[in-house]
Amino acid sequence: METVPIVAPETNKETHVFNAKINNNALEGNVSLTYSGESRASFLYVFNNLRTEMKNEALEYYLKRADRNMMVDNIETSDLENRDDQLSIDFNLKQDNAVSSFDDEIYINLDYYQEYGKWLFNERNTDYEFAHKEYLSSEINLELPEGYKVTELPKGIDVNTKTYKIFVDFELTDNVLHYKKVFVMKDAVVKKSNFEEWNETIKSLQSIYNQQIILVKD
């Protein structure tokens, strides 16, 4: 009998990097996305089954997450007809209504994707199965405006179980705030017996997502 190889979540790695600056009430900057393995295959399956005349609009809609506050342009991709190489997408993003200012303080809603933030299993009675093992690395690097500092960094989380890992961290280097998240679904399933533990982790994640970054004049 032929042995079926065990695929590690890293094989399906997906990365998001947003290098951002504040411009009035918006966050603006460049976004780089990469997809490998099953994350690439899932994206290409949907994209390549669209009618040709719909593909550009569909890609923009996907990158905006159907959010009216998002504007994307200068989209560049790797060969979307190639099903073997790593897929990459680069574009400029403007996220309106993410920043508000009052006197000498600036309030920032930093996270525009909030991955897994709604994944509470309060009423589900069976295991939840993902389409495949997942590995998502997401990073937002915010350049602070001159003369401002962060009042307090939110507290991150680091939960690592047999079936999943959820890691969130904030770090300030010079004038750049680094906000990093890693989500690893090791077995492509969340067992019903683990729902209570999972839900507590997601609630901690939601708490982070609900916090604003506050800047004050230095």
Asked if the structure places residue 122 within a domain, the reply is yes
Instruction: Answer whether 74's CB lies under 8 Å from 92's CB.
Output: yes
- Residues spanned by the domain of 129: 9-30+96-217
User: CA 174, CA 133: separation in Å to the nearest integer?
Assistant: 36
At residue 173, the 3 state secondary structure works out as strand
pLDDT tens, position by position, 153-192: 999 999 999 999 999 999 999 899 999 999 999 999 999 9
Residue 84 lies in a domain: no
Domain count along the chain: 1
Asked if residue 76 belongs to a domain, the reply is: no
**Structural domain includes residue 58:** no
- For 17, the token pair is 């990097």
Sign of CA dihedral 54, 60, 63, 68: negative
The CATH code of the domain that includes 134 is: 2.60.120.1130
The pTM of this model reads 0.91
Tens of pLDDT, residue by residue over 50-101, are 666 677 788 888 888 778 899 999 999 998 777 778 899 999 999 999 999 9
